[in-house]
């Protein structure tokens, strides 16, 4: 069910980003075979666990949820601001400058060092190494 604000009030984790915190009674408390409490204790423990978990979660979100949501909204706004206005343009400038330096360095190597190393290669190309068995 979508509200007027565009928030799905039924499916609140459509991307399953919080699967790891889906905690049920059976995930926390389990009695092994041969070690069972009275059925009424087990059933009431289940009810108490679920009630306390749900009540405390709702109370915590009532008191802190909006403030924390505002903080995270601010945090992601700052991150977005830095990426849009600082990091991405700076990276683009860096890549442009590096492209120039890459071409300049490549030209220097091709013009000055390549002929030198090719000449050295020709000079040493006639050297042969043999192993003697003496």
The predicted-structure confidence for 25-45, as pLDDT tens digits, reads as follows 888 888 888 889 999 999 999
pLDDT at 14: 87
CA angle 15, 47, 26 (to 5 degrees): 55
pLDDT at 113: 92
In a domain, 128, yes or no: no
> CA–CA distance from 8 to each of 60, 68, 130 (Å)?
21, 19, 80
State the chain's mean pLDDT as an integer: 90
What's the domain count of the chain? 1
Question: Is 65 within 8 Å of 71 (Cβ atoms)?
Answer: no
Mean pLDDT by 10 residues, the chain (134 residues): 71 85 86 90 94 96 96 98 97 92 91 92 87 76
Q: Within its chain, how far is the Cα of 111 from the centroid? A: 45
Question: Is 23 within 8 Å of 2 (Cβ atoms)?
Answer: no
In a domain, 93, yes or no: yes
In a domain, 108, yes or no: yes
Question: Is 28 within 8 Å of 50 (Cβ atoms)?
Answer: no
pLDDT at 41: 93
pLDDT at 100: 87
In a domain, 95, yes or no: yes
Taking the model in full, what pTM does it have? 0.58
pLDDT at 2: 52
Question: Is 15 within 8 Å of 21 (Cβ atoms)?
Answer: no
Q: Where are the alpha helices (DSSP H) in the chain?
A: 25-28, 39-60, 66-82, 88-108, 114-124
In a domain, 14, yes or no: no
CA 68/CA 62 separation, integer angstroms: 11
The β-bridge partners of 2 are 8
In a domain, 73, yes or no: yes
Tell me which residue range forms the domain holding 104: 19-122
């Amino acid at each position: 069910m979508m509200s007027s604000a565009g928030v799905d009030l039924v499916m609140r984790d459509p991307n399953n980003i919080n699967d790891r915190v889906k905690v049920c009674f059976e995930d926390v408390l389990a009695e092994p075979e041969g070690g069972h409490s009275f059925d009424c204790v087990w059933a009431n423990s289940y009810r108490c666990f679920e009630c306390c978990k749900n009540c405390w979660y709702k109370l915590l979100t009532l008191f802190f949820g909006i403030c924390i949501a505002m903080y995270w909204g601010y945090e992601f706004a700052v991150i977005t601001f830095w990426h849009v206005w600082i990091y991405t343009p700076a990276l683009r400038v860096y890549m442009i400058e590096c492209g120039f330096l890459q071409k300049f360095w490549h030209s220097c190597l091709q013009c000055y060092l390549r002929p030198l190393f090719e000449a050295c290669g020709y000079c040493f190309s006639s050297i042969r190494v043999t192993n003697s068995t003496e």
